[in-house]
Amino acid sequence: MPPAPTGARPGVLARNYEPLDVVLVSGEGSWVTDVDGKRYLDCLAGYSALNFGHRHPALVAAAKEQLDAITLTSRAFTHDLLEPFARAVTALTGTEMLLPMNTGAEAVETAVKAARKWGYDVRGVPDGEATIIVASGAFHGRTTTIVSMSDDPLTRDGFGPYTPGFRIVPFGDADAVAAAVDRTTVAVLVEPVQGESGVIIPPADYLPRLRALCDEHDVLLVLDEIQSGLGRTGTTLAQDLVGVRADLTTLGKALGGGILPVSAVVGRRDVLGVLTPGTHGSTFGGNPLACAVGIAVADLLVPGTLQARAATLGAELRTRVEALVAEGLLASARTVGLWAGLDVEPSLGMTGRQTCELLAAHGVLTKDTHGSTIRLAPPLNIEREDLDLALDILTKVLRERRAAVGG
């Protein structure tokens, strides 16, 4: 008989993440609870997938009702919620057509395929030569084509050979885009605000200038709003802040209400129309359960109350974090709507990760990125006093650290 195992079983979960040491078992609204019953304020909100908080009653009700009806048909058949879902999301976003997918990366892949096919079919770009201009520091997902458009070594290195056809230019620099456009360019694909990079906000004229450039050269403007969209910036889409409408917009995360992965590309009918039966698809894309939740998500956003709330609470968030900059606890702070990227003051000698660990110990969950940056993206319906509490705890953690390093 083999000897009974003595030590812990070696890990069986692939280590593609390095989570904080918090094991969650339940969540409600902005609060989550761990295995020991400790409660935390969720100020990451699933990277904006939980814009409506955990288990929003309207979203859970829509999902439960649909679980008792039908959950999957495949696209070999259709179902009663597919068209209503497309109508709800296009109406919400002021777009003409929707193509449903599941994850964010799939939506971006879909936009890349649609843009290339449009380039060949409509613009007459020679086959195989289409190029797409993307931004440095961007994050659009993890597939092999998408990592091919990344210049982040952690995301990209070790996964070649890479998909050709992407030109990377500095983010926020419309002149660089203008210089990179040529007759092979079919699209400019950027995030309106770079989320994973640390909530990097481009100059106010960036998107309007890209829009004008794309119009001038008959190039598609594709905006990845998977993280920035659906209320986070205080508007339905981040592009609404500057009055721009993209030709294609990718949506994901919050579209599934934190319940299941739901993504989509919305945009111009003549562009998405180049994808004909058999050229693209997904077994689960637009499934009945996803559509039920997606419609309920759109319904939550139609009145505009949540967007307005994100803007109001976002103004308070900005005042509070700017005070931390003035106090010398943060080196800088960028906010838009209810979304903040905070750079911890280097003299505190604390990485973003260490800051997140301390915050977690004090009952606030958030996520670091790129060294000393932390991100705050609480649910849009967080109670004002809970947001205050999270910011009080952040202030306390930073002040205590400064006291500890003798500042």
Ligand X SMILES: Cc1ncc(COP(=O)(O)O)c(C=O)c1O
Interacting residues with ligand X (CB under 6 A): 47, 103-105, 108, 139-141, 191, 195-196, 224, 226-227, 252
Residue 350 backbone phi and psi in degrees, to 5: -135, 130
Which residue, 191 or 343, is less far from ligand X as judged by CB? Answer: 191
Determine which one of 42, 117, 166, 224 is catalytic. 224
Enclosing H/E stretch for 41:
strand 39-42
**Known catalytic residue: 166?**
no
Which residue, 108 or 359, is less far from ligand X as judged by CB? Answer: 108
- Give residue number: closest CB to ligand X: 104
**Known catalytic residue: 113?**
no
Total count of residues recorded for the chain: 407
> What is the identity of the amino acid at 359?
L
Which residue, 377 or 391, is less far from ligand X as judged by CB? Answer: 377
Which residue, 172 or 252, is less far from ligand X as judged by CB? Answer: 252
Q: How far is the CB of 193 from ligand X (least distance, A)?
A: 9
Cβ-based neighbours of 358, under 8 Å, separated by 6 or more: 350, 397, 401
Which residue, 224 or 386, is less far from ligand X as judged by CB? Answer: 224
Q: How far is the CB of 89 from ligand X (least distance, A)?
A: 16
Burial 254-280 (b: 16+ CB within 10 A, else e): bbbbbbbbbbbbbbbeebbebbeeeeb
Which residue, 191 or 240, is less far from ligand X as judged by CB? Answer: 191
Enclosing H/E stretch for 250:
strand 248-251
Q: How far is the CB of 189 from ligand X (least distance, A)?
A: 10
Determine which one of 42, 171, 253, 343 is catalytic. 253
Kindly compute the dihedral angle of the four CA atoms of residues 279, 85, 98, 136, in this order, to the nearest 10 degrees: -100
**Known catalytic residue: 224?**
yes
Cα dihedral sign, 209-212-216-220: positive
Quick one: which of 250, 229, 251 has its CA closest to 240?
Answer: 229
Q: How far is the CB of 254 from ligand X (least distance, A)?
A: 11
Do the Cβ atoms of 79 and 197 come closer than 8 Å? Answer: no
- Bridge partner list, 169: 135
Query: For the purposes of burial, counting CB atoms within 10 Å of the CB of 296, is it exposed (0-12), middle (13-18) or buried (19 or more)?
Result: buried
Determine which one of 52, 139, 166, 284 is catalytic. 139
Q: How far is the CB of 69 from ligand X (least distance, A)?
A: 26
Quick one: which of 226, 230, 224, 228 has its CA closest to 248?
Answer: 224
Q: How far is the CB of 261 from ligand X (least distance, A)?
A: 6
Secondary structure E strands in 179-239: 185-190, 220-224
The catalytic site residues sit at 139, 224, 253
